[in-house]
Chains A and B, each alone.
Chain A
Amino acid sequence: MTAPGSQPEIAVTGIGLVTSAGIGVQASWQGVCAGISTARRDPNLAGLPVDISCTVPGFDPGRHVGRRSSLIHDRFVQLAVTAAREAVADAGLDPHTWDGARVGIVIGCGVGGVATGEAQLRTSLESGPRAVSALLIPMMVPNMVAGHLGIELRATGPNLVTATACASGATAIGTAMQLLGDRSCDVVVAGGSEAAVTPLITTGFAQMGALSTKTDDPAAASRPFDAARDGFVIAEGSGILVLERASDARARRAGIRATIAGFGASADAHHMTTPDPDGKGARQALLTALARAGVAPDEVEHVNAHGTSTPLNDAAEGRMLRAVLGDRAAVTSTKGVVGHALGAAGAIEAAFTALALQTGTIPPTANLEALDPGIDLDVVAKEPRRRPIEVAVSNSFGFGGQNAVLVLTRA
């Protein structure tokens, strides 16, 4: 077996976040550090067996994105545009002056513009095919999120969307690292976006048995690693990172929030939706990411786990983390606060991991009252833990057995 090649160190020079904890990095980070779940009953899901979600509060497309946005963008694009603008400004870059040909866009998206699709299906059934919008396809297809960001940011370099279900956002960041490593790009705007909290998609996940059914107590429903967990809470959001080779970022004296030292991807090749019970695929991705980062397993001090709050994921991930990393790492799942934003989750969590490294603060796992006795890990609960961290891992695992793991280090 050939060892994985090394990757150049990649700097996170900008972050943008739109989550159920708030619009912007500050609101999202404060919310996640407060450790209080944002899940609540969702009027758009009224009457369904599972009617709770984590949606972005106070998002106004006209104000946050611009005139006509509601006519031409599905919500998953609107959230991404908002997060991307924040990230690029945070990086101190200006799309009016950068060389757009050297800027790539890679965005993870698991589902795409289903709200538009569902609305247009109703129109078509009620009023016939003549009434269907000519904007249905450009609003719905998942690749359009990267397409629109290219327009918005005047970025004409490689432009693509990654779809590895709930790992999509992390896969996007890993793919961006490769585009920087082989010098296809000098800057990549990478992340994930999802706005699939629709009646149909929520019902689909409920029918799989993947969602928490604690609908009478929404704020207690998402409880990663807790003994009483029973599924995830569906969420929407976007996390966008501006990535550059660390050498370039230092040369232009950019503020560096954290560095990404390694990426590992793998497939379980086991089952359509059930994770490999021994976590073999996840372990392979983690070991690859660590090897590429040149980090030994016992050097990892913090893990932002995939931690969906489903019985199966958290048990398998917990066993795998304990087996590979031992008991030193302080583990958290920010999904306790912001729910599971599907294709955006990996990018939102990479952003939280970068902020944990930068601030020396590990957010707590919301609703962790009694750790599952089968999980032998140091899971942070109740209060944020403050301590300097040098090395952290962010795990993302998707239905389809697609795994993506990032290793981040303090800048």
Chain B
Amino acid sequence: MSDLTYETLVALLVEKFEVLPELIRPGVTFADLEVDSLFLVELLLVVEREVQAAIPDDAINAQDTLERAVDIVREHVATAGTR
């Protein structure tokens, strides 16, 4: 298992989901980036592989900011690690 960093999330969004880099800031939401619920499911699949831990499909929604999403993933990784 490993933590998700903000930089890794940004790289995933740009490389795999074709989000325009100039739109990306920590406080921007997925909805602002036109990452809808179907894309979020895809994103979580990629994030799971990245951090080697299970993240529930509903852990993150389109209204969450990127910053918040990184925290949520870290919480899941930490919980999985103490199990």
Contacts and interface: CB of A to CB of B under 8 A. Distances in A.
- What is the interface residue range for chain A against chain B? under 10
Contact of A68 (B18, B45, B48): B18
Interface in B35-56: 38-39, 41-42, 45, 48
B23 to A, nearest CB: 12
A135 B20 CA distance: 21
Chain A at the B interface: mostly helix, strand, loop or mixed?
loop
Interface in A137-159: 138
Contacts, number: 19
A135 B38 contact: yes
Contacts of A135: 38, 42
Interface stretch (A89-97, A126-134, A196-204, A245-253): A126-134
Q: Which residue of B38, B42, B48 has the most chain A CB atoms within 10 A of its CB atom?
A: B38
Contact of A71 (B17, B20, B45): B17
Interface residues of B, number: 9
Nearest to A132: B45
B10 to A, nearest CB: 17
Contacts of A133: 42, 45
Contacts of A271: none
Interface in B8-23: 17-18, 20
Nearest to A133: B42
Nearest to A131: B45
A266 to B, nearest CB: 41
A71 B41 contact: no
Interface in A14-71: 67-68, 71
Given A71-B42, A134-B41, 4 more contacts: A130-B45, A133-B42, A134-B38, A138-B38
Interface of A: 67-68, 71, 130-131, 133-135, 138
